[in-house]
Structure 1
Amino acid sequence: MAEASAEAHIGAPAEKIWARLTDFTSYAEWNATHTSFPNGGPAELAVSATYDENMKLMGFPAEVTWTVEELEPARLLTTRGKGPMGVNLAMRYALTPDGDGTRVRIEGEFTGAAVSLMAGKLKDSAGAALTESLRRLDGLVT
């Protein structure tokens, strides 16, 4: 298993960040691993909704089928995905009001036989991508 996380204080209200985080038409503007949604994002963002995403992880293209597992508007979005070579992914976006802004934490988890061969590199690469994603998200909402 490989886990990665990033956290940042963003000087915007949680609702504004949530609106950008869940606007699947503008994902490429902030998500550093995203390349496309071949069939568009979910028709409706709800628990059990599924959608496909093309990503680039460690420089390699990957298609992931995501399922929304937890959803609390303006607070929490957790998705679980199935990727190539038996890799399973989980992404958790948590927004917490913090003074004049919002603390945003992204956690990623990768499991599967292929992950054990590259766990260290995957953790570093995913951590850097999550940090870059938060930097871009901050620039879009503040």
Structure 2
Amino acid sequence: MAEVSAQARIAAPAEKVWRQLTDFASYGQWSATHTSFPKGGPTPLAAGATYQENMKMMGFPAEVTWTVEALEAERVLGIAGKGPMGVNLSMRYTLTPDGDATELRIDSSFAGAAVAMMAGKLKDSATAALNESLRKLAGLVE
């Protein structure tokens, strides 16, 4: 299993960060791994909702089917995914209000036989992608 996380203080209130985070039409503007949602994001956004995402991880295309597992408006979005080659993924976005700013933490994990072979490279690549995504997301809301 490979686990990675990244955190940033964003100079915008949690409501505004949440609105951007859950605007699935704009993911291409900030998510470093996102390429498309073939059928759109989860509609409605609710626990148990599923959706497909095309991504690029370590330069390789991947299609992931996500399920919303945790949802607390303006606080938590947790999703679990099934990717190619039996890879299981999880992403958890946690927003913590801090005055007029928001601490946004992203925790991600990857598990499966294919992950074991390249865990080190995957961790480096995923960490860089999370940090780039946080920087771009902050640029959209600050």
Any unmatched runs of 5+ in structure 1? none
Q: Structure 2: which 5+ runs fail to align?
A: none
Q: In the aligned structure 2, how far is the partner of 1:27 from the partner of 1:21?
A: 8
Q: SS of the residue aligned with 1:26?
A: helix
Q: State the distance in 1 between where 2:18 and 2:58 align.
A: 27
Separation in structure 1 between the aligned mates of residue 108 and residue 58 of structure 2, nearest angstrom: 14
Cα RMSD of the aligned pairs, angstroms, is 0.5
1:61 alignment partner, SS class: strand
Cα distance in 1 for residues equivalent to 2:127 and 2:108: 8
Q: Structure 1 residue 43: deviation in Å?
A: 1.3
Calculate the TM-score normalised by the size of structure 1: 0.99
Give me the whole-angstrom Cα distance separating, in 1, the residues matched to 2:2 and 2:50. 23
2:95 pairs with 1:95: yes
Provide the C-alpha distance between the structure 2 equivalents of 1:25 and 1:52, rounded to a whole number of angstroms.
13
| Counterpart-to-counterpart distance in 2, 1:3 and 1:57 | 14
Matched, 1:130 2:130: yes
For 1:51 and 1:100, the matched residues in 2 are separated by 32
- How far residue 100 of structure 1 moved from its aligned partner, in angstroms, is 2.9
Q: Percent identity?
A: 71
Q: How many residue pairs get matched? A: 142
The residue aligned with 1:7 is 7
The Cα shift of 1:70 comes to: 0.2
Q: Note if contact 2:3-2:107 (Cα within 8 Å) is conserved in structure 1.
A: yes
TM-score of the pair, normalised by structure 2: 0.99
Query: Runs in 1 of length 4+ with deviation above 3 angstroms?
Result: none
Question: Partners of 1:122 and 1:87 in 2: how far apart?
Answer: 12
What is the SS of the residue equivalent to 1:39? coil
User: CA offset at residue 99 of structure 1?
Assistant: 3.2
* Preserved CA contact (<8 Å) 2:13 2:99: no
Provide the C-alpha distance between the structure 2 equivalents of 1:125 and 1:117, rounded to a whole number of angstroms: 14
Deviations 1:15-56 (A, max 9, x none): 000000000000100100000001111110000000000000
SS of 2:118's equivalent? helix
Contact 2:3 2:110 in 1 (8 A): yes
